[in-house]
C-alpha cells in the first residue's frame, strides 16, 4: 500500500510581514531604555507644570461663571476633566521640546554624551533614535487631538451651556436647506439628523444632458441604509405632462444629514475632527463651494501633530550650538513662540487664499524644520566639505 504525504508550499515572506516581524521582535537596548525612561519622566514633569499653569489661569477666568450659576464641585471637576485632553494637546509640543532640551543638556552636563562617544556611539545615532521616537509622539498627539480632545471639547461645551448658562439644549434641527446628491437637487423644510427623519421634501431629478426629468414632492422622509424613503409622494413628469401620487418612493440619496447639521450651525473647523472635516469638504466640493478655509484647517491638524518631529530637530540643533542648558531652554521657548506666530500667520494666509492650504498650514513646520535640519547637516558634514566651502 503506497503512502502519500502532503507537502505544503514554503511560506513566502513579504516585505510587510518582514516589517511586522521586525516590529514585534524589537527589543530596546539598555541605552534606549534609559533614554526613553528619562524622556518620559521629563515629558510628564513638563506636562504637569504646564497643565497646572493652564488650569490656574482658566479657573481664574471662569470661576465667576461657576459661582453665579451655583455649580457644584462635580460640575467644575467634570468641566475641567473634559477640557484636560484639549489642554494636553495644546501644550504637548512645547513640553516635549523643553523636556528634550533638558535631557540632552543633562547628558552633556554629566559627561554621559562624552562617554557614549568614547564607547563608539556617535551623536548622529542619538539623532536617529530621537527622530524615530518623535514620530511616535506625533502619532500619539494626532490620536489625542482628534479623538479625546474633540470629544472632551463637546462635553465641555455641553456642561458650560447646560449646567452653567442653563440653556435648553435639544436635538439639532435642519431647516430650509438645499443640496446636490447625484442627479438630484434636494430641498428640505425640516429634518432631524439624529432620528434620520424630516418633512417637506422637494426633489428635482435631472438626466445626464441636464434636462429635467421629474419633480418629486413628499410630505415626510426616512433615511435608509442605501438612500431615502419618501412618503405621501406626488411625482410630476414635465416631458410627458403627467403627474401621479404614490404612498412611498425610494431614491438613492446619500447625503449625510449630520454634515448638514454641522454646516448649518456656527461651527469652528478647528473644533472638528479630521474625519468630520473630510466629510464636510467632500460635500461642499460636490456642491461647488469654496473650501480653502476647511482644507487649511484639515492640513493644520496634520501639521500640528507633526510639529513634535520639528521640535525634536530644534532641540537637537540647539544642542549642537550651545552647551548651556538654561540658554537652550530660553532659546527653545523663544523659538516655540516664533513657531506659533508663524503657524497662525500661515493658517490665516491659507484661509484667505493668499497661500495654498497645504503651504499655509505647514509653513511653520517647513521653515523651522529646514533651518534645524540644515544646522544638523552642517554639524555632521565631513570636514573636507567644510574646508572646501571655506576655500570657495
Interatomic CA distance for residues 134 and 96, integer angstroms = 9
pLDDT confidence band for 391 (50 / 70 / 90)? very low
Grid cell at residue 164: 452653567
- State residue 3's pLDDT score: 46
- State residue 97's pLDDT score: 93
pLDDT exceeds 70 at position 106: yes
Interatomic CA distance for residues 247 and 238, integer angstroms = 21
pLDDT exceeds 90 at position 160: no
pLDDT exceeds 70 at position 147: yes
Residue 25, judged by CB atoms within 10 A of its CB (0-12, 13-18, 19+), counts as exposed
Mean pLDDT within 331-349: 91
Grid cell at residue 305: 501633530
Q: Is the dihedral of CA 28, 29, 30, 36 positive or negative?
A: negative
- State residue 169's pLDDT score: 52
pLDDT confidence band for 196 (50 / 70 / 90)? confident
Of 31-45, 178-192, 334-348, which range is least confident? Answer: 178-192
First-to-final CA distance of the chain: 86
- State residue 390's pLDDT score: 47
More confident residue, 13 or 201: 201
pLDDT exceeds 60 at position 6: no
Q: What tens digit of pLDDT does each residue of 18-71 get? A: 556 555 556 778 888 888 999 999 999 999 999 999 988 888 888 888 888 787
Residue 95, judged by CB atoms within 10 A of its CB (0-12, 13-18, 19+), counts as buried
Interatomic CA distance for residues 376 and 386, integer angstroms = 13
More confident residue, 199 or 71: 199
Query: Any long-range contacts for 211-217 (C-beta under 8 Å, 24+ apart)?
Result: 211/239, 212/238, 213/183, 213/237, 213/238, 213/239, 214/238, 216/249, 216/251
pLDDT confidence band for 307 (50 / 70 / 90)? very high
Mean pLDDT within 320-332: 86
Rg (CA), the chain: 29
**Is residue 174 a contact partner of residue 259, using CB atoms and an 8 Å limit?**
no
More confident residue, 259 or 362: 362
More confident residue, 389 or 196: 196
**Is residue 199 a contact partner of residue 219, using CB atoms and an 8 Å limit?**
yes
pLDDT confidence band for 135 (50 / 70 / 90)? very high
Average pLDDT, whole number, for the chain? 82
- State residue 382's pLDDT score: 64
Mean pLDDT within 165-174: 64
pLDDT exceeds 90 at position 96: yes
pLDDT exceeds 90 at position 119: no
pLDDT exceeds 60 at position 17: no
pTM: 0.70
CB atoms within 10 A of CB 6: 4
pLDDT exceeds 60 at position 2: no
pLDDT exceeds 80 at position 172: no
Amino acid at each position: 500500500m503506497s503512502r502519500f504525504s502532503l507537502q505544503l508550499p514554503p511560506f513566502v515572506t513579504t516585505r510587510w510581514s518582514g516589517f511586522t516581524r521586525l516590529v514585534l521582535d524589537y527589543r530596546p537596548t539598555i541605552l534606549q531604555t534609559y533614554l526613553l525612561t528619562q524622556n518620559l519622566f521629563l515629558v510628564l514633569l513638563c506636562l504637569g507644570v504646564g497643565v497646572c499653569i493652564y488650569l490656574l489661569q482658566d479657573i481664574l477666568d471662569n470661576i465667576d461663571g461657576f459661582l453665579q450659576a451655583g455649580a457644584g464641585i462635580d460640575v467644575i471637576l467634570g468641566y475641567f476633566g473634559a477640557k484636560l485632553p484639549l489642554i494636553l494637546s495644546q501644550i504637548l509640543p512645547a513640553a516635549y521640546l523643553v523636556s528634550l532640551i533638558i535631557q540632552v543638556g543633562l547628558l552633556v552636563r554629566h559627561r554621559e554624551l562624552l562617554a557614549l562617544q568614547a564607547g563608539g556611539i556617535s551623536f548622529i545615532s542619538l539623532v536617529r533614535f530621537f527622530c524615530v521616537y518623535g514620530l511616535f509622539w506625533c502619532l500619539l498627539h494626532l490620536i489625542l487631538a482628534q479623538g479625546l480632545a474633540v470629544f472632551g471639547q463637546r462635553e465641555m461645551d455641553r456642561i458650560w451651556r447646560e449646567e452653567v448658562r442653563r440653556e435648553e439644549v435639544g436635538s439639532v434641527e435642519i431647516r430650509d436647506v438645499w443640496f446636490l446628491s447625484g442627479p438630484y437637487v434636494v430641498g428640505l423644510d425640516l429634518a432631524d439628523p439624529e432620528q434620520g427623519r424630516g418633512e417637506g421634501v422637494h426633489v428635482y431629478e435631472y438626466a445626464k444632458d441636464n434636462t429635467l426629468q421629474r419633480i418629486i414632492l413628499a410630505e415626510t422622509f426616512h433615511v435608509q441604509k442605501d438612500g431615502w424613503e419618501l412618503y405621501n409622494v406626488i411625482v410630476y413628469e414635465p416631458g410627458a405632462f403627467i403627474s401621479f401620487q404614490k404612498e412611498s418612493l425610494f431614491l438613492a440619496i446619500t447625503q449625510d444629514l449630520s454634515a448638514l447639521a454641522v454646516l448649518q450651525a456656527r461651527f469652528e473647523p478647528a473644533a472638528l475632527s479630521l474625519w468630520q472635516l473630510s466629510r464636510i469638504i467632500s460635500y461642499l466640493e460636490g456642491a461647488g463651494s469654496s473650501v480653502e478655509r476647511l482644507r487649511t484647517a484639515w492640513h493644520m491638524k496634520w501639521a500640528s501633530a507633526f510639529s513634535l518631529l520639528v521640535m525634536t530637530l530644534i532641540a537637537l540643533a540647539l544642542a549642537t550650538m550651545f552647551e548651556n542648558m538654561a540658554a537652550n531652554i530660553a532659546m527653545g521657548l523663544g523659538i516655540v513662540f516664533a513657531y506659533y506666530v508663524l503657524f497662525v500667520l500661515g493658517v490665516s494666509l491659507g484661509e484667505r487664499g493668499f497661500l495654498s492650504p497645504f503651504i499655509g498650514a505647514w509653513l511653520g513646520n517647513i521653515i523651522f524644520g529646514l533651518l534645524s535640519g540644515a544646522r544638523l547637516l552642517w554639524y555632521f558634514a565631513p570636514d573636507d566639505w567644510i574646508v572646501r566651502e571655506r576655500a570657495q
